[in-house]
Amino acid sequence: MSAIIEVDDLRRTFVVRRRRSRMRRERHEVHAVDGVSFDIGTGEAVGYIGPNGAGKSTTVKMLTGILVPTSGRLRVAGLDPSARRTELARHIGVVFGQRTGLWWDLPLRDSYELLGRIYRVPRRTYEANLERFVDLLDLGPLLDQPVRQLSLGQRMRGDIVAALLHDPRILYLDEPTIGLDVVSKAKLRQFLRELNGERGTTILLTTHDLVDIEQVCRRVMVIDHGRLVFDGGFDELHRLGDARRTVVVDLAAPADPLTVPGATVSRVDGSRQWLTLPAGATAAPVVAALGARDDLIDLSIQEPAIEDVITALYTR
């Protein structure tokens, strides 16, 4: 498996000028990306996570050619993104979570036609892809609506199709599930899994949501303050990080700390108890054991926050 993305000691520094007072202006450097190295092989599905401001978006901007690195070596599909931006553009698809790549006032279908021609997609490929993706992502009835009338979830699905019409070798997704409801998230994750599995599209998924990674990627890279602090499998991450999932249990009345196999009670507050279990483990037996109790009112499962995972990584 050859590397389609090669990153070697990548750095990106910003100079930030802030006004300290009316007269003085402070100038200091921000190392958004501070010596990051990794290789991504063709067909891999990689998650890229980190707290806000860690350098995720900056890395992706450099990989896609938007931003020029301060130093370091960068090759995507054999090309230097900052030097050969338009050439590389044919091989990549990008979905920005916060803003759309579609044309606001035009019907969805028109946006796709336009992109098909811009990317010189052969007619038959275009039609086949359009039909397949529209079908998989339930966009059929929306094709004739102007993009501005779509909901966030619909627009996101529309953006993903737009990014894939030209059969890119690499798909970058920047926070694609933000603001989506549970059902949409699940559908999206499944779609990405299939895309990676059947078409072999290399995927780099930037997200805050660890379940995104768990469902779609086999490899995780964690970036914090511009540095890569973890690069490996999902299970390994949780083992090393020792992050834990939390099951919040509401009982009919205050009780002694519960004994449930596979989980430990971390906190008790009246009739509510917090049970934790290893993040890589399935919650099913715990839920089943709790469900068997007749004093159970309600329960919910909380995933470990990314910050907790990283903190846990540091304290190992």
Partner 1 sequence: MADAVRGFAIIAGAWVRSALSYRTSFAIGTGVQFVITFLDFAAIIIMFSHIDAFGGFSIAQIALLYAMSGFALGAADMLVGNSESLGRRIRDGSFDQMLVRPVPALAQVAADRFAIRRIGRIAQSGGVLIWAVWAAPIDWSVARVVVLVGAMACGSVIFCAVFVMGGAFQVFAGDAAEVSNAFTYGGNTLTQYPLTIYPNELVKGVTFIVPLAFVNWYPGLYVLGMDDPFGLPGWLRFASPVAALAFVAVAAAFWRTAVRHYRSTGS
Residues that bind partner 1 (CB under 8 A): 14-15, 58, 61, 64-68, 82, 85-87, 89-90, 92, 94, 96, 98-101, 103, 105-106, 110, 113-114, 117-119
Q: Which of 103, 274 has the CB closer to partner 1?
A: 103
CA distance 41 to 174: 19
SS3 content of the chain, % helix, strand, coil (to 5): 35, 35, 30
The sheet that has 71-76: what strands, in order across it? 25-41, 3-19, 71-76
Question: Which residue bears the tokens 């370091």?
Answer: 72
Q: How many CB atoms lie within 10 A of CB 305?
A: 13
CA-based nearest residue to 307, from 248, 213, 243, 245: 243
Closest approach of Cβ 183 to partner 1, in Å? Answer: 27
Q: Which of 91, 218 has the CB closer to partner 1?
A: 91
Closest approach of Cβ 118 to partner 1, in Å? Answer: 6
CA distance 81 to 226: 20
Residues forming beta bridges with residue 30, ordered by sequence position: 14
Q: Which of 94, 134 has the CB closer to partner 1?
A: 94
CA distance 34 to 20: 26
Closest approach of Cβ 62 to partner 1, in Å? Answer: 9
Q: Which of 12, 157 has the CB closer to partner 1?
A: 12
Closest approach of Cβ 115 to partner 1, in Å? Answer: 8
- Does residue 54 contact residue 30 with C-beta atoms inside 8 Å? no
Q: Which of 58, 184 has the CB closer to partner 1?
A: 58
Closest approach of Cβ 13 to partner 1, in Å? Answer: 10
- Does residue 42 contact residue 202 with C-beta atoms inside 8 Å? yes
Closest approach of Cβ 52 to partner 1, in Å? Answer: 16
Q: Which of 26, 105 has the CB closer to partner 1?
A: 105
CA distance 37 to 62: 13
Q: Which of 59, 207 has the CB closer to partner 1?
A: 59
Residue type, 6: E
Closest approach of Cβ 71 to partner 1, in Å? Answer: 12
